Chain A
Amino acid sequence: MVLALLPEICLLAGAVLALISGSFLPRRRQWVSRLIAVAALLATAVTAAVALPGPPTTVFDGSYAVDGATGIARLVLALSALLVIGLGVDELAGGKQESETYAMLLLSTTGAVLLAGADDLLVLAVAFLLTSIPLYGLVGLARTPAAAEATMKTYLLGALSGITLLLGVTVLFGVAATTTYAGLAERLPAAPVAAVALGVVAVAAGLLFEAGAVPLHAWVPDAAQGAATTAAAFLTTVPKLGALVALYRFVEVLPGEVAWPLLVAVLAVVTMTVGNLAAFAQDDPRRLLGWSTVSQVGYLLVPVAVAGRSDLALPSLLLYLAAYAVTNLGAFAVVAAVPGVRELAGYAGLAAARPWLGGALLVSLLGLLGTPPTAVFVGKLTVAAAAWDGGSAWLALAVLANTLLSLFYYLRWIGPTFRRRSAATDDGAATAPPRPWAAGAAVAAGAAGLALGLGAGVAWTLLDVTLIR
């Protein structure tokens, strides 16, 4: 059992060690705790990869699933957190709370992994708290008025949805007398439909907050804009991944009498549309990305809506999650590399002065748009195919129509980047030497996004997994 949970243990141990070492180290030697965090994440990724081909199993009396989906989630989450540290090193190094930041990143990542694997409502509740509480801290670390407001918003929404989640757990436990998913799948069909529906909606609310989906999305753009870039990159990626796998696992146990597919489908369409429309008018690249992540969650909810009705649903969800993580982090890495630029027009001249960085931004933004051969294209394609295959062709069409909407604002960013800069308005912020680690992370993420798209066939063989209860 201990071996089965080795990746989670690595993460937790890394968090604790980073925190303790940080308390004893002088500020200029906090790189030691960075090393600890990176080593812990690498160990998590390696142990997760080694465990991937193993037989699916559950631990702790069926309350936590160690199957293919958990394995992929562990791998993707650990690598994402690694990339977040990579793009944030320049910002964090030598800062006041460097090691605390690493500890919170690792703790929240642990929570996201637990979310992905939770096979019991109580584990789900614990994982929710473990993911979200460090998030509040991460947002607030920036110590600016905007960050304070974003923290407040995140905390209030998080607390509200956390309570709702616990309420849902209570109701479902009340009608089914169990909290394990195996037990719920067995007993919920016999339970009163209204009570089950209430419980389902309440539990889903918690997960929707974590994923940043409508109607609990309001914190995402504020936090993406107000928080430090490292924290922004993290909170728009890692919690979402865990929450979406958790949601998929949760809806799979629900009885057919509750019309959850329709609910999720409607939320998916509303989420992607709201995210895209709101991103239109943004001038701050981080806020634009914040809204863009909301729309991406909309696409990611599509395979959840057809869970169990198409063989493509789970693999397409996992593929899209991985693709989204690397592409979104690539865009944030470019933002982190040119910290002086706070509006889209400021990117003028970037591609001419820094062709690699401009190229990475182009690949990331076209990736988020879903241009082949990037990874998100394959994700979007399989997601739309899954929706159509699952009998919801209209969902596939909604995905495509929203992709068209999103083109406009991604082009608003690509346009200036590749334009010549005009001497009159240029403050040199875009063409100043970029932060080296962030620029490296941006290029690496761009390359990884392309490689994952071109090598989607290989990745797919890993993703062809089933859930275990």
Chain B
Amino acid sequence: MLSIVVFLPLAAAVVLAAARGLPDAVARWAWVAVAAVDLALVGVVWAGYRTPPPGALAWSEQVPWIPGVNSSYHVGVDGLSLPLVALTAVVFLACAVYALREERRPRAQAALFLFLQTTCLGLFVAADLILFFLFFDLSIVAMYFVIGGWGHGDPARSALKFFLYTFLGSLALLAGFIGLYVAASPHTFDMVALAAAPPLTGAPVGGGLVLAAVLVGLAVKTPTVPFHTWLPPAHTDAPAVGSAVLAGVLLKMGTYGFVRIAMPMLPAAWRAWAWVIVVVGVVSVLYGAFVALGQTDLKRMIAYTSVNHMGYVVLGVGAAGLVAGADAATRQVAVTGAVTQMVAHGLITGALFLLVGVLRDRAGTYDMASFGGLARPAPRFATLFAVAAFASLGLPGFVGFVAEFQVFVGTIAAVPAAALALPGILVTAALFLRALQSVFTGPAEATTEGFGDLRRVEVWSVAPLLGLALLFGVLPRPLLDVIEPAAQAVTSMVGR
């Protein structure tokens, strides 16, 4: 079943890529249809999901791939991956709807995004390090073509920087994986086996080095300070749907790697270095917020808030390693908050990037100073953007609040100094309010006259994302019921 979910988009991508004479309209709607079917299949998976015992996976499938190095095609879901799988399907469907208006090579774009969807879904269900790496690398390749092929500004340069930077990360990750493989006895790449019997527990130096390699790889992808410099140009020059996927889904690959790979497989090293991770988290939160505050380009500003939001995730998972500071229940709250934050950020920032794309579509720029008083000609746009902005700054009632609240509760209990990150929320609130004020209120600028409001496909792509953010903000239980057992399992694994 999971294999169908993962490879259905790929099959559709191959068909679309091969069908040269296909009319553009058919290609656009085929993408929407496939994304919708895939989301429905994910719904079936969610409906049939029963919390597996700690360390095991639901819906798992395993076929030997390279038996010589004990690598297999092993997939499965648990409370950490299932929400992200669902998030991926939702964000990609939103992008498919948004792209119904795409004029530039829609068939190729649909094929590329469907391929990208396979890599993202595959990464989140992978239970084998090599399989994980395979999808990790292919997602980079696909995103390179998205930025290079449909971007604006200086896309070739941004795409190259993105590729070089994240490829560096992926190689560091691979070095860490090989280290895990060699240290494990018997040698294996299987995640479940590695988590069950973590290698290098008695080797602080070796474990620390392997953790460092894995962390660098994941930190580049997340991105955390100081590995974030590829993110702003990539986002600024990427097309709107590309940015939505990049921020909504691809960034989660890094943070997901923390909870899926680094914490369960290197618990001793994680505990030893947790304080570094907490510091990086705090710095990312503050740095992302303050640099975002200084931006005049709206899209760049949102890109930097991603650094800030991902900082909360890093903070939460880092706190889980501070065993001395807090009991298991508190640390579990931090991990739950971190995983919830991944979902929250995916929904909200995905929506924000799609909305910002409208600015460029209508006026050809993201510069906040070029806009003013847009609320009058574009009320729907103003409403949705305001909702998204408030959701992003952590207003209660949205899932972002649920996430950040838990992260702070868990983290500050474990390490009071983490309260240093609290001003990050304040700064984020300030910068979003300032952006709202500058773009939607005040005197009209040259671009205001004739600014077209959101079209139907734009509303239908953005509104569901924000609706889900609101739904899980008001009724978080269904989501938390899935995440909490897995967070508990991870917390206890780190405590080993």
State the majority secondary structure of interface residues on B. Answer: helix
* B66 near A457: Cβ-Cβ < 8 Å: yes
* A464 near B171: Cβ-Cβ < 8 Å: no
A396 to B164, CA, bound (A): 20
Given A371-B138, A388-B182, A460–B66 Cβ distance below 8 Å?
A: yes
A200 to B154, CA, bound (A): 54
Bitwise, B121-143 to A at CB < 8 A (1) or not (0) is 00000000010011001100100
CB of B463, distance to nearest CB on chain A (Å): 34
Query: Is there a chain A Cβ closer than 8 Å to B178's Cβ?
Result: yes
Which residue of chain A has the shortest Cβ distance to B174 in the bound complex? Answer: A400
Given A371-B141, A404-B168, A418–B66 Cβ distance below 8 Å?
A: no
Query: Is there a chain A Cβ closer than 8 Å to B106's Cβ?
Result: no
* A381 near B69: Cβ-Cβ < 8 Å: yes
Query: Is there a chain B Cβ closer than 8 Å to A372's Cβ?
Result: yes
Which residue of chain A has the shortest Cβ distance to B173 in the bound complex? Answer: A400
A366 to B174, CA, bound (A): 16
Bitwise, A370-389 to B at CB < 8 A (1) or not (0) is 01110001100110110011
A389 to B179, CA, bound (A): 9
* A457 near B67: Cβ-Cβ < 8 Å: yes
A174 to B187, CA, bound (A): 44
Bitwise, B413-457 to A at CB < 8 A (1) or not (0) is 000000000000000000000000000000000000000000000
* B64 near A457: Cβ-Cβ < 8 Å: yes
* B68 near A457: Cβ-Cβ < 8 Å: yes
Report B-chain residues with C-beta under 8 Å of the C-beta of A385: 69, 178, 181-182
Residue in A371, A384, A401, A419 whose CB lies within 8 Å of B137: A371
A408 to B17, CA, bound (A): 27
CB of A413, distance to nearest CB on chain B (Å): 13
Residue in A384, A411, A418 whose CB lies within 8 Å of B160: A411
Report A-chain residues with C-beta under 8 Å of the C-beta of B230: none
A381 to B68, CA, bound (A): 12
Report B-chain residues with C-beta under 8 Å of the C-beta of A456: 65-66
* B137 near A378: Cβ-Cβ < 8 Å: no
* A315 near B68: Cβ-Cβ < 8 Å: yes
State the majority secondary structure of interface residues on A. Answer: helix
Residue in B17, B148, B164, B172 whose CB lies within 8 Å of A355: B17
Query: Is there a chain B Cβ closer than 8 Å to A132's Cβ?
Result: no
A389 to B148, CA, bound (A): 39
Which residue of chain B has the shortest Cβ distance to A380 in the bound complex? Answer: B174
* B68 near A415: Cβ-Cβ < 8 Å: no
A419 to B171, CA, bound (A): 27
Residue in A312, A355, A372, A397 whose CB lies within 8 Å of B69: A312
Which residue of chain A has the shortest Cβ distance to B68 in the bound complex? Answer: A460
Which residues of A438-468 have CB atoms within 8 Å of chain B's CB atoms? 456-457, 460-461, 463-464
Tell me which of A372, A460, A463 has the highest count of chain B C-beta atoms within 10 A of its own C-beta: A372
A315 to B133, CA, bound (A): 22
Report B-chain residues with C-beta under 8 Å of the C-beta of A315: 68
* B65 near A407: Cβ-Cβ < 8 Å: no
* A373 near B134: Cβ-Cβ < 8 Å: yes
* B164 near A407: Cβ-Cβ < 8 Å: yes
Which residues of B156-182 have CB atoms within 8 Å of chain A's CB atoms? 156, 160, 163-164, 167-168, 171-172, 174-175, 178-179, 181-182
Which residue of chain B has the shortest Cβ distance to A456 in the bound complex? Answer: B66
Interface residues on chain B, size class: 20 to 34
Given A403-B171, A404-B167, A456-B65, A381–B178 Cβ distance below 8 Å?
A: yes
A382 to B141, CA, bound (A): 22
Query: Is there a chain A Cβ closer than 8 Å to B145's Cβ?
Result: yes
* B175 near A397: Cβ-Cβ < 8 Å: yes
Residue in B156, B168, B178 whose CB lies within 8 Å of A396: B178
Query: Is there a chain A Cβ closer than 8 Å to B397's Cβ?
Result: no
Report A-chain residues with C-beta under 8 Å of the C-beta of B179: 388, 393
A401 to B69, CA, bound (A): 22
CB of B185, distance to nearest CB on chain A (Å): 12
A396 to B179, CA, bound (A): 10
CB of A272, distance to nearest CB on chain B (Å): 14
Bitwise, B186-199 to A at CB < 8 A (1) or not (0) is 01000000000000
* B65 near A372: Cβ-Cβ < 8 Å: no
A455 to B235, CA, bound (A): 37
CB of B122, distance to nearest CB on chain A (Å): 11
CB of B304, distance to nearest CB on chain A (Å): 26
* B141 near A404: Cβ-Cβ < 8 Å: no
CB of B72, distance to nearest CB on chain A (Å): 9
Report B-chain residues with C-beta under 8 Å of the C-beta of A389: 182, 187
Query: Is there a chain A Cβ closer than 8 Å to B467's Cβ?
Result: no
Report A-chain residues with C-beta under 8 Å of the C-beta of B156: 415, 419
Report A-chain residues with C-beta under 8 Å of the C-beta of B168: 404
Given A373-B134, A400-B174, A408–B164 Cβ distance below 8 Å?
A: yes
CB of B434, distance to nearest CB on chain A (Å): 38
A461 to B68, CA, bound (A): 8
CB of B111, distance to nearest CB on chain A (Å): 11
Residue in B20, B130, B138, B149 whose CB lies within 8 Å of A381: B130
A378 to B66, CA, bound (A): 9
Report A-chain residues with C-beta under 8 Å of the C-beta of B163: 407, 411
Which residues of A391-436 have CB atoms within 8 Å of chain B's CB atoms? 393, 396-397, 400-401, 403-404, 407-408, 411, 415, 418-419
Tell me which of B67, B68, B141, B164 has the highest count of chain A C-beta atoms within 10 A of its own C-beta: B68
CB of A414, distance to nearest CB on chain B (Å): 9
A355 to B69, CA, bound (A): 35
CB of A463, distance to nearest CB on chain B (Å): 8
Report B-chain residues with C-beta under 8 Å of the C-beta of A372: 130, 133-134, 137-138
Bitwise, B267-300 to A at CB < 8 A (1) or not (0) is 0000000000000000000000000000000000
Report B-chain residues with C-beta under 8 Å of the C-beta of A461: 67-68
Which residue of chain A has the shortest Cβ distance to B160 in the bound complex? Answer: A411
Report B-chain residues with C-beta under 8 Å of the C-beta of A418: 145, 148-149
Which residue of chain B has the shortest Cβ distance to A415 in the bound complex? Answer: B156
Which residues of A299-336 have CB atoms within 8 Å of chain B's CB atoms? 312, 315
Report A-chain residues with C-beta under 8 Å of the C-beta of B64: 457
Which residues of B1-44 have CB atoms within 8 Å of chain A's CB atoms? 17, 20
* A400 near B175: Cβ-Cβ < 8 Å: yes
* B66 near A415: Cβ-Cβ < 8 Å: no
A307 to B295, CA, bound (A): 56
Chain A contact residues, CB within 8 Å of chain B: 312, 315, 355, 366, 371-373, 377-378, 381-382, 384-385, 388-389, 393, 396-397, 400-401, 403-404, 407-408, 411, 415, 418-419, 456-457, 460-461, 463-464
Would you list 25 pairs from A and B whose C-beta atoms are within 8 A, ordered by A residue?
A312-B69, A315-B68, A355-B20, A371-B138, A372-B133, A372-B134, A381-B130, A382-B68, A382-B69, A384-B174, A385-B181, A388-B178, A388-B181, A389-B187, A400-B171, A401-B171, A404-B164, A411-B160, A415-B156, A418-B148, A419-B156, A457-B65, A457-B66, A460-B67, A460-B68
Query: With contacts A315-B68, A355-B20, A400-B171 known, what are 6 further pairs, Cβ within 8 A?
Result: A396-B178, A401-B171, A407-B164, A456-B65, A457-B64, A460-B67
Across the A-B interface, give the 7 residue pairs with the lowest CB-CB distance, nearest first: A372-B134, A460-B68, A400-B171, A388-B182, A457-B66, A456-B66, A457-B65
